[in-house]
Chain A
Amino acid sequence: MAVKREHELVPAHEIMSENEVKKLMQEMGVQTYNLPKILVTDPQAVKLGAKTGQILKIHRKDGENEYPYYRYVVED
């Protein structure tokens, strides 16, 4: 079910471009499939229209600080 308004427990999700992904993978020295995963059927992934194989950047909040978290979109 689609959620119209952002929920306080849901941090902002964003689809990363291919270039960004390439750069990130080089920086971290890992493969995309090594990242934590998110299902394509996940409400947030559906909302963004994410496709399998893409990477979602999640802007998590930790008190005052914000830090990125990455999830690899996988098939259900």
Chain B
Amino acid sequence: MFMAKEDKKQDQATQVAIGEAVGTVAAQSIGEPGTQMILRTFHYAGIESTIATSGLPRIVELVDAKKKPTTPLTYTYLNDNIKNNFEKATDMTKRINEVYLADVAKRVVESFSKGTITIVLNRQEVEANDLTAKQIASKIEKAFNLDTTVEDRRITVNVHTKDLRKIRSTTTKLYESVVSGVEGAGKAVIRQDKKTQEFYVVSAGSALEPIMELEGVDKSRIYSNDIFAMYRVFGVEAARNSLIKELKQTLQEEQGISISDRHLMLLADAMTMSGMIKSVGRHGLSGEKNSVFARAAYEETVKHLINAAAFGETDPMKGVTENILVGKQIPLGTGAVRLTVKKEDLAKLKPKKSKD
């Protein structure tokens, strides 16, 4: 492979020596600028209705491998032929935007004597979401398997029973039923990329699978800040990459802290080492170390020592922590190399005569 002379020099200069404590360096490189991070989040006025968690809380969330982020967001990009079309993009936003019956209903009246529930729709809301009473009625019919009759903006649902409790529970379920959009997608907003001028949809949920089934969605670019959603749909490697992407975005773009990518890559690699996403800390990486002493030195000392004693664990003494603990040389840097002498060579050695 061709490489310019200067590039080669640079390449050699950035290579890591054997025995270098890369993990410690990475931890300090992330930790030190972390102390300067601003806890305060910026508030944008206007269209940006969804404010994502940022700063230190977000970093903690990522490193702790939280199953559900506080503010899950999904970025849906469109196929090349429609990505610059505002109307098509708006249409996509409407198809994703999750609307509950409670959002479009003005009031819901139950009739216990007839066994029906009448939904009076709010005309403005219905029109704003590009819906018709008929569409809503058919959605309800499908979801609840009940008969409905539509009359202007009134939908009458026949519950086929006069049991008070059943009618009431159906009403509550009706309120929460999704009449339009993708279930679990949340509120969707249209946005325009400043650089490429293309339109994309941001929704406040992490339901990737149903969105990917929609026509016109670019499946190769859909992205969620929910690492576990990415893991579920695309696998560990995608999870690793989005973890790096999220960390980098939080640190560099929002806080103006620049950390070498290598450190973040090491962190993400360590977290996805087992094929799953493990948190850094007691319940994840640190809690699953091989050495009893290393675990005991971190947290819950007594628990680990008692368990080790009860199950007869052995400690291979190969790590750093346990060797510091017992006062041995640590296997890092010059301590990582051992000296061995061949037996034949040993025989050749002649003892020196001492002078005194």
Residues of A within 8 A of B (CB): 1, 3-11, 13, 36-39, 42-45, 58, 60, 71, 74
Residues of B within 8 A of A (CB): 209, 212, 219-223, 230, 232-238, 241-242, 245, 269, 272-276
Contact of B241 among A6, A9, A13 (CB under 8 A): A9
Q: Give B221's nearest chain A residue, CB to CB.
A: A8
Q: A9-B242, A39-B276 are in contact. Are A44 and B235 (CB under 8 A)?
A: yes
- Chain A-chain B contacts (Cβ-Cβ < 8 Å), number: 65
A11 near B220 with CB under 8 A, answer no
CB distance from A31 to the nearest CB of B (A): 15
A37 near B237 with CB under 8 A, answer no
B274 near A37 with CB under 8 A, answer yes
CA distance A12 to B238 in the complex (A): 11
CB distance from A35 to the nearest CB of B (A): 9
Q: Please, which residues of chain B bring their CB within 8 A of the CB of A45?
A: 235
Q: Please, which residues of chain A bring their CB within 8 A of the CB of B236?
A: 38-39, 42, 44, 71
Q: A8-B221, A36-B269 are in contact. Are A3 and B274 (CB under 8 A)?
A: no
CA distance A36 to B274 in the complex (A): 6
CB distance from A6 to the nearest CB of B (A): 6
CB distance from B76 to the nearest CB of A (A): 13
A74 near B230 with CB under 8 A, answer no
CA distance A54 to B212 in the complex (A): 30
CA distance A5 to B77 in the complex (A): 14
Interface pairs A-B: 7 shortest CB-CB: A37-B275, A44-B235, A9-B241, A39-B275, A43-B235, A42-B235, A9-B238
**Residue contacts A-B, CB under 8 angstroms, 25 given:** A3-B219, A3-B233, A3-B234, A5-B220, A6-B220, A7-B222, A7-B238, A8-B220, A9-B230, A9-B238, A10-B234, A11-B241, A36-B272, A36-B273, A36-B274, A39-B276, A42-B236, A43-B233, A43-B234, A44-B234, A44-B235, A44-B236, A45-B235, A58-B237, A74-B275
CB distance from B176 to the nearest CB of A (A): 25
CA distance A39 to B235 in the complex (A): 9
CB distance from A17 to the nearest CB of B (A): 21
Q: Please, which residues of chain B bring their CB within 8 A of the CB of A9?
A: 223, 230, 234, 237-238, 241-242, 245
CA distance A5 to B219 in the complex (A): 7
CA distance A40 to B237 in the complex (A): 14
Q: A36-B269, A38-B275 are in contact. Are A10 and B219 (CB under 8 A)?
A: no
Q: A36-B273, A37-B275, A38-B275 are in contact. Are A11 and B221 (CB under 8 A)?
A: no
CA distance A19 to B44 in the complex (A): 57
Contact of A1 among B209, B223, B274 (CB under 8 A): B209
Q: Give A75's nearest chain B residue, CB to CB.
A: B275
Q: Please, which residues of chain B bring their CB within 8 A of the CB of A42?
A: 235-236, 275
Q: Please, which residues of chain A bring their CB within 8 A of the CB of B245?
A: 9
CA distance A56 to B64 in the complex (A): 27
A37 near B234 with CB under 8 A, answer no
CA distance A6 to B230 in the complex (A): 13
CA distance A13 to B275 in the complex (A): 14
CA distance A44 to B212 in the complex (A): 17
Q: Give B261's nearest chain A residue, CB to CB.
A: A62
Q: Give B230's nearest chain A residue, CB to CB.
A: A9
A1 near B233 with CB under 8 A, answer yes
Q: Please, which residues of chain A bring their CB within 8 A of the CB of B221?
A: 7-8
